[in-house]
Amino acid sequence: MSQYFPQIPVIRYEGPASREPLSFKYYNAGETIHGKTMAEQLRFAMSYWHTLCAAGTDMFGGDTSDKSFGSGDAASLARAKAGAGFELMNKLGIEYYCFHDRDIATEGETLAETSRRLDEIVPVLAELQQEHGKKLLWGTANLFANKRYMNGAGTSPRLDVYAYAAAQIKKAIEITVELGGRGYVFWGGREGYETLLNTDMKKELDHLAALMTMSRDYGRKIGFTGDFYVEPKPKEPMKHQYDFDAATTLNFLRAYDLLGDFKLNIEANHATLAGHTFEHELRVAAINGAFGSVDANQGDLLLGWDTDQFPTNVYDTTLAMLEILRAGGFTNGGLNFDAKTRRPSNRPEDIFLAYIAGMDAFALGLRLAARIEEDGFLTENLKQRYASFDSELGRSIMDGTATLESLAAYAESRPEPVADSGAQEYLEATLNQLMFG
Ligand code: XLS
Ligand code: NI
Ligand code: NI
């Protein structure tokens, strides 16, 4: 199967010394790292939208690359994209993919026509999945591109817009289930506001939660046993996005009793836009039992928007993989490359080189995170830092028997407490030694 990228071979692992651009230097799918194969630990996924749809258009200019895959009308374009996508996954050894409803088939004149187009392409995807042993990691509905959603979808002030969004979600969940998807994502692109002068925040949040509750109920009714995810993002396109970051999103999910069915899909670039590190967001999700999936990319810290670059920063991937290993690894989720090549990287092989860069950066991050975990120094150091809480008094705090009186009596019996050094610089140097030593 080499129809769309005839010049690209199957990408193989050649090891770190290789200078062959079209080879993996660190990602060796079948190699066991920390108890599982690299393929199982990393669960890489292809994003349909960036890989098969985005062609370089930005605010100042049009496409720089060709994503028509040699086709013309809507139906043949949808098939060509699917064919190209599966060829790309095959050549890179990627097992999963993710899509928005509108990525796999363009929108028609009416809702019925759009659904018909989806009904045409979904069996094609099902067959390709079967033939090539690929799986759908998650599906989602694009509730942000069409102008009807300019004031929001689940938070729109207009009932007919809200109902349209409901219809779109209904269909998107149906096709996700049909294709065996293990996840369904809510990213609230337009779910936010620009000014309180025209916004009833409470109503909008109540409506959004009701839509998510209905979606959960419908999904469970038609046999969806996977996870629903919310993908936090602080800004862009809206000034105030309701799902600002992991903590804000968890508060929303808890307030509307959606935790459990809903977990988080953490995106690296969204974390940094929120003023957090990627690992911070992963940790917040994990300690709340809501670690679900990851949109793997990286932002440019000098720019204030979602640049969705392929991840190559090995410190970031190492610290992220450390969080993922400590969270027990993926269950239904995986690492979806929500990333696109830079606008001037416009040759078809640039897509492959970009995926290789991202997969290798995460593979190296996994190798280093496993090395750090297996060395045990950082874990032991952390344990020692909190060791005083292992005393009887410390335990009484967690079992609920401590009182302010009991703690005050203890404090009064003791000399002035000594605060220990955090030794951050030493730990950072040790991290370097563990990574590069
Ligand atoms: C945009 C989001 C989007 C979601 C899916 O910033 O990352 O791509 O992942 O709707
Ligand atoms: Ni994303
Ligand atoms: Ni994004």
Rounded Cα–Cα distance for residues 117 and 113 (Å): 6
Q: Check pLDDT > 80 for residue 267.
A: yes
Active-site residue, 103 included: yes
Q: Tell me the pLDDT band of 71, cut-offs 50, 70 and 90.
A: confident
User: In this predicted model, what pLDDT tens digit does every residue of 294-331 receive, in sequence order?
Assistant: 999 999 999 999 999 999 999 999 999 999 999 999 99
| Mean of all residue pLDDT scores within the chain | 97
Taking residues 127-150, what's their average pLDDT? 98
Task: Please report the pLDDT score of residue 75 as a whole number.
Answer: 86
- Residue type (1 letter), 236: E
Residues 6+ apart with CB under 8 A from 364: 26, 314, 317, 318
Q: Check pLDDT > 90 for residue 253.
A: yes
Q: How many angstroms from the chain centroid is the CA of residue 117?
A: 27
Would the pTM of this model clear 0.85, i.e. be above it?
Answer: yes
Q: Residues whose CB is under 5 A from ligand 2 (ion)?
A: 267, 295, 338
Taking residues 90-112, what's their average pLDDT? 98
Task: Please report the pLDDT score of residue 73 as a whole number.
Answer: 87
Task: Please report the pLDDT score of residue 259 as a whole number.
Answer: 98
Q: Check pLDDT > 80 for residue 184.
A: yes
How far apart are the CA of 279 and the centre of ligand 2, in A? Answer: 16
Instruction: Tally Cβ neighbours within 10 Å of residue 391.
Output: 11
Task: Please report the pLDDT score of residue 1 as a whole number.
Answer: 58
Q: What domains appear along the chain, each with residue ranges and CATH number? A: 12-375 (3.20.20.150), 378-436 (no CATH)
How far apart are the CA of 1 and the centre of ligand 1, in A? Answer: 30
Dihedral, 246, 371, 331, 277 alpha carbons, nearest 10 = 10
User: In this predicted model, what pLDDT tens digit does every residue of 155-177 receive, in sequence order?
Assistant: 999 999 999 999 999 999 999 99
User: In this predicted model, what pLDDT tens digit does every residue of 14-44 receive, in sequence order?
Assistant: 999 999 999 999 999 999 999 999 999 999 9
**Paired residues of 258 in beta bridges:** none
R_g of the chain, CA atoms, integer Å: 24
Residues 6+ apart with CB under 8 A from 393: 402, 406, 407, 410
Pocket test for ligand 1, best of 46, 238, 267, 293 (most atoms within 8 A of CB): 267
